[in-house]
């Protein structure tokens, strides 16, 4: 029987029967491709539920509450003045109109609530990775064992697919332990997320993607309850961010922006 990703996930979770588990183990001993798929799935098996449990949702702005309440009052007044014999189709139309009126307000709240006023000049991709990073708690990666071979494979495939050359900085002298590399996507463009962990506090992420600007000096922001520093070098956009890691993000970002930081693994020619 073919071994698909669902079967491999069942193997990792211990949900397979003893017979099927034995089949998977036998197949792993004869297939390098299967071993690589298993390693990729194992690396993606993170405790996201625990991260969500620790996520603090922003309060609903009072102005939005008042606007929705006023809209509801206006709708009630219109309904009272309308004939009692209103048809189901007209009722549906009224409800749809209410949804259309509320939708822009809800959209504005959902986009602005998690982001502070200092983020107005920040690129959309930076805001997106900051929102994603809020899902990470220390428990998300504390038990993740760094996989050098998998990380190199992800970066090499990225180089082959897109020409984007990224090296993983060695930040051990700053008290940060490398954990993993992930390839993300924003608006059709690849984004590399490199995750580190300090001795205490939340994870630290360094995210990289292409930028139209060639150079921009490091600038600090507060995004979605995250401390972040952004900069651009050689048409690559960088953001270093964490919620509460006990390190000086601005100082570390200045080092990274200046180049010359040692890298982990083997650095590809011309890598950033």
DSSP assignment string, 168-182: EE--GGGT-EEEEEE
pLDDT range class, residue 23, cuts 50, 70, 90: confident
C-alpha to C-alpha distance for 165 and 268, rounded to whole angstroms: 7
Q: How far is CA 131 from CA 60, 143, 178, in A?
A: 17, 22, 21
> Whole-prediction pTM value?
0.56
Task: Quote the percentage of the chain above a pLDDT of 90.
Answer: 42
C-alpha to C-alpha distance for 220 and 176, rounded to whole angstroms: 20
pLDDT range class, residue 48, cuts 50, 70, 90: low
- Average pLDDT, rounded, for the chain: 78
For helices 5-13 and 18-28, angle between their N-to-C axes, nearest 10 degrees: 110
Whether residue 156 is predicted with pLDDT greater than 90 in this model: the reply is: yes
């Amino acid at each position: 029987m073919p071994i698909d990703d669902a079967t491999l996930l069942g193997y990792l979770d211990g949900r397979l029967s003893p017979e099927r588990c034995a089949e998977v183990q036998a197949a792993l001993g004869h297939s390098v491709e299967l071993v690589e798929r298993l390693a990729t799935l194992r690396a993606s098996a993170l405790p996201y539920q625990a991260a969500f449990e620790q996520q603090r949702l922003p309060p609903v702005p009072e102005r939005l509450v008042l606007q929705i309440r006023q809209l509801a009052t206006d709708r009630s007044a219109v309904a009272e003045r309308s004939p009692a014999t209103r048809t189901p189709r007209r009722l549906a139309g009224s409800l749809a109109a209410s949804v259309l009126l509320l939708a822009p307000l809800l959209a504005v709240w959902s986009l602005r609530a998690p982001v502070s006023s200092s983020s107005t000049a920040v690129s959309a991709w930076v805001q997106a990775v900051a929102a994603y990073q809020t899902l990470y708690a220390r428990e998300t990666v504390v038990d993740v064992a760094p996989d050098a071979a998998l990380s190199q494979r992800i970066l090499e495939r990225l180089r082959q697919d897109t020409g984007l050359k990224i090296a993983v900085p060695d930040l051990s002298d700053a008290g940060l332990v490398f954990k993993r590399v992930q390839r993300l996507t924003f608006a059709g463009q690849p984004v590399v997320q490199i995750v580190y962990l300090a001795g205490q506090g939340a994870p630290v992420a360094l995210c990289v993607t292409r930028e139209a600007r060639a150079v921009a000096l490091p600038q600090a922001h507060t995004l979605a309850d995250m401390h972040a520093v952004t900069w651009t070098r050689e048409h690559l956009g960088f953001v270093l961010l964490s919620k509460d890691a006990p390190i000086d993000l601005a100082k570390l970002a200045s080092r990274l922006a200046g180049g010359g930081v040692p890298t982990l693994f083997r650095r590809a020619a011309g890598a950033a």
